[in-house]
Structure 1
Amino acid sequence: MNVESALWRAIAVFRGVSLCYAAVLIVRNDAGYARPWAAWPVLVVMVLWTAFTIHAYRLAAWRGDERRRRALAVADLVIPALCLLATGFVEYQANLFEGRANLTVSWVAAPVMVWALMGGVRGGLVAATVLAVPDLALRGLYADHVSASTVNGIVLLYMVGAVIGYMARLALDSEARLARAIAVETATRERERLARDIHDSVLQVLALVQRRGGEAGGEAAELGRLAGEQEAALRTLIGAPRPEEISGSGDTDLRALLTAHTGARIQVSAPATPVTLPGPAAREVAAAVSAALDNVERHCPPETSVWILLEDDGDRVTVSVRDDGPGIPEGRMAEAVSSGRLGLDQSIRGRVRDLGGTVEITTAPGAGTDLELTIPRPRRS
């Protein structure tokens, strides 16, 4: 049973116990009512509504019908409010003036708990207000002032809404974080198991092909080089955390996206701690880096090496992509834009610009190319 189910069960128990308390007071005060016969239909309504809501909320939760549960919550405010107002017909004016308990007493706190569970502190306070207004209006019909007992009851109603709302949200958030931690641990264990299996088979074969290909030379050497690249990429893949495993807040660890490019000719350096960005922003940065690597693949010799450096400066994230290729000849970038080849301008600069960042390109013939992508980290509200 999860936390939410336990809370719903606790509300159902409270509803039943508070109904019994209200019934005891009605029986005890029966002779002191102005219209004692009218108190019993109210009690019947309270009994029937208690039984109905306990079953209806459980059924709505089982079906996952949130719309039905919201409709029940609205009705759960209306029915107790009407039962509360019925006190004005049953009770003597003098008793109301003195602050005598209404027919529902603490039974009306159950709907406040429901709204607090569903809507947090705000929902609990709204429900408390909806039920406090009829009580104040009822007693205001017969008195020039509100008794201390009435004020205490209303204050307790607000406290129930605020405390239950806060604790419910805290408990549900804690349960969600625990579930994410368990999922991460489970995924990590599975990845470690796969890593052991792959290491005992695929990685060893790729390493053997790389070594033997290098010894044989010729076309076999090229095959060995490709096997080495795949071995490095596979080791990174099975060892790196998935982006969605890092945070449950909607952020993505940029390290996991960039280290996927690691290979025989591509080295990635990143901090030991997560470098998080909002998911869409992280994916756009990763796409810009992929576009830069594609440019290296198309325009540089096959033996060109690439270094990717990820830095976290707190309020901004910087990614540098540097290669030791022939560099970009002067005027080539302007020529590419004018001829409609927009890879650098749109795939890299455009993406980073949309994120509010900048791209600096340092290049010279024979000295390689260095792209520095700087992306500001969005401020948390």
Structure 2
Amino acid sequence: MPKRVKVMRMSVEQPLWRALTAYRVLTMLYALGLFLGAYGDFRRPGVAIGYFAVLVVWTLATLPKVAGAAHCTKPFLAVDLGIALTGILLTPVADAHQRVVEGGPTLPSIWTAGSVLAYAVKGGWRWAAFASTLVAAANLVERGAPTRDTLHNVVLVWVAAIAIGYVVEVARASERTLARALEIEAATRERERLARDIHDGVLQVLAMVQRRGTALGGEAAELGRMAGEQEVALRSLVTGGPSPVSRLSEDESEGALVRLVQEPEEESGEAAGAREPVDLRSLLTPYAGARVTLSEPGAPVPLPPAAAREVAAAVGAALDNVTRHAGEEARAWILVEDDPDGIVVTVRDDGPGIPEGRLVQAEGEGRLGVAQSIRGRLRDLGGTAELLSVPGQGTEVELRLPKEAPGTMAGAQDARGGTGQR
């Protein structure tokens, strides 16, 4: 069956680009307002008018450039910073000398900080330090001599830009770490799913061949020995830890991409939530027999197809353990309950029970019947699997799937934004 590959796109810096876009427009209007308010004090207003004409056109025309890291290229940053520095250096030419000496605003005013912040968001604190240093030098040249107000403004821009650049670098590193953790988790879950399938089929066949071959003797015994060796090797393979994850792909404009492999689809292109629910009882009925008693409610127990199959497979794994460890003559009972809070399936047998510590030992040996085929399945559905065993009094496995779990109908509605009642 084809698998669905879900691509998650993460970007913690994208809000910064949106904020920077708004900042550039607002500061452009602010600088223009300052000029119009003090128009009569300018010595050469024509110079200022020409500069502001360029500033307005440049700011509005380059809004897409500051919409994301991919569009904010180095040539754009260089020209943008050049316009800011030109405005600072043109201030003594256009404005009155007295206003410059008294610390009046430069032509671009605080619009200059937008250029520096673009460097910070694009390249981190080192790029921010470079841009803010050039702005500081231009401000000192424009004033002619360092004053307290000039130094205050220079240091403020320098520190703020470097701090923002550093935060962006930390956010990107955290984003990559989170993306890698999600891929590792996805790879681990896929390995566990494959391990369950292998345990339910291949490993059990190999174990049966080993037992029958040993019992028959002769050439069959050799075949059984080889099957046993392959069983041990396969168990070691499926319990050897998570498989290596692919290298994360990154798009500077949108952030890290995480590709998660999900459960196989029954039909290509069909949405999981659009499929009709399955009555869990119909999947458990085949397990009933001479030595297995099935007790079920009178009404259907609807579940999404994938969840219903997983619960039925967990019940099948529990019954396989009964046959294998309690003997073919042992009796088992399956009880299905559809409670208001969840669906509970209990599998109980009259076998000898499980010795204390045996489950931990079996898991260490790579035997995944309880750890993966039962508990792993319910855990992936958002439920739990509890096992109670008293030596000499049989074993009871309780599979509980809450109604709000992702694998249930209510959980599926919540995940799609439904308004179902609980």
TM-score class normalised by the smaller sequence:
0.5 to 0.7
Corresponding residue for 1:165?
165
Identify the match of residue 126 of structure 1 among 127, 130, 134.
130
The answer on whether the counterparts of 2:191 and 2:243 sit within 8 Å (CA) in structure 1 is: no
> 2:120 touches 2:164 (CA, 8 Å); kept in 1?
yes
What residue number does 1:27 align with? 36
User: Are the equivalent residues in 1 in contact too, given 2:207–2:227 (CA < 8 A)?
Assistant: yes
Q: Could you tell me whether the CA contact under 8 Å between 1:97 and 1:147 is conserved in 2?
A: no
The Cα shift of 1:246 comes to 12
Q: 1:292 aligns to what?
A: none
SS at match of 1:105: coil
1:74 aligns with 2:78: yes
Aligned-residue offset at 1:104: 0.9
- 1:1-381 matches, within 5 Å, as 2-58=11-67, 61=70, 69-140=73-144, 145-242=145-242, 244=244
Helix, strand or coil at the partner of 2:13: helix
CA 1:10 to 1:208, structure 2 compared with 1: closer, same or farther past 3 Å?
Answer: same
Q: CA deviation at 1:209?
A: 1.6
Distance 1:107 1:74 in 2: 15
- Residue 200 of structure 1 aligns with an amino acid whose one-letter code is D
Q: Percent identity?
A: 41
Matches of 1:101 and 1:205, distance apart in 2: 83
Structure 2: which amino acid aligns with 1:178? L
Structure that is richer in helix per residue: 1
**Matched letter for residue 83 of structure 1:** G
* AA in 2 matched with 1:185: E
* Change beyond 3 A, Cα 1:225–1:130: farther
Partners of 1:242 and 1:206 in 2: how far apart?
24
Check the 8 A contact 1:35/1:89 in 2, yes or no: yes
Kindly indicate whether the alpha-carbon contact (under 8 Å) linking 2:188 and 2:242 is maintained by their aligned counterparts in 1: no
The alpha-carbon deviation at position 146 of structure 1 amounts to: 2.1
How far, CA to CA, are the matches of 2:222 and 2:175 in structure 1? 52
Change in 2 beyond 3 A, CA 1:44/1:195: same
Shift in Å, 1:244 = 3.8
Letter in 2 for 1:231: E
Q: How far apart, in 2, do the equivalents of 1:71 and 1:218 lie?
A: 80
Question: Which sections of structure 2, spanning at least 5 residues, go unmatched?
Answer: 1-9, 249-422
Q: CA deviation at 1:154?
A: 0.6
Instruction: Give the direction of change, closer, same or farther, for the CA distance of 1:95–1:111 in structure 2 (3 Å limit).
Output: same
Map Cα deviations across residues 280-314 of structure 1 (whole Å, 9 max, x no partner): xxxxxxxxxxxxxxxxxxxxxxxxxxxxxxxxxxx
The superposition leaves residues 7-33 of structure 1 with CA deviations (integer Å, 9 ceiling, x where unpaired) of 221211211121121111111111111
4+ aligned runs moved over 3 Å, structure 1: 57-60, 242-248
Output the amino acid matched with 2:185.
E
Would you say the 8 A contact 1:36–1:90 is kept in 2?
A: yes
For residue 156 of structure 1, report the CA deviation from its aligned partner.
Answer: 1.3
> Aligned partners of 2:126, 2:16: CA distance in 1, in Å?
18
**Closer, same or farther: CA 59–154 of 1 in aligned 2, 3 Å:** closer
Q: CA–CA distance in 2 between the matches of 1:162 and 1:207?
A: 64
Query: 1:99-144 CA distances to partner (integer Å, 9 max, x unpaired)?
Result: 111011111111211211222211111110111111211221xxxx
SS at match of 2:241: coil
| C-alpha spacing 1:170/1:114, structure 2 compared with 1 (3 Å) | same
Q: Contact between 2:184 and 2:242, CA under 8 Å: does it hold in 1?
A: no
Structure 2 counterpart of 1:213, one-letter code: G
Q: How many angstroms does 1:5 deviate by? A: 2.0
Looking at structure 2, the residues matched to 9 and 237 of structure 1 have their Cα atoms a distance apart, in angstroms, of 48
Q: 1:29-57: per-residue Cα shift (whole Å, max 9, x none)?
A: 11111112221221121122212332134
| Native 8 Å contact 2:187 2:242 kept in 1 | no
Give a deviation string over 1:236-260, Cα, whole Å, max 9, x none: 3222323645999xxxxxxxxxxxx
TM-score (norm 1): 0.58
Kindly provide the amino acid, as one letter, of the partner of residue 230 in structure 1: Q
The amino acid that maps onto 1:81 is L
2-structure distance, mates of 1:171, 1:133: 30
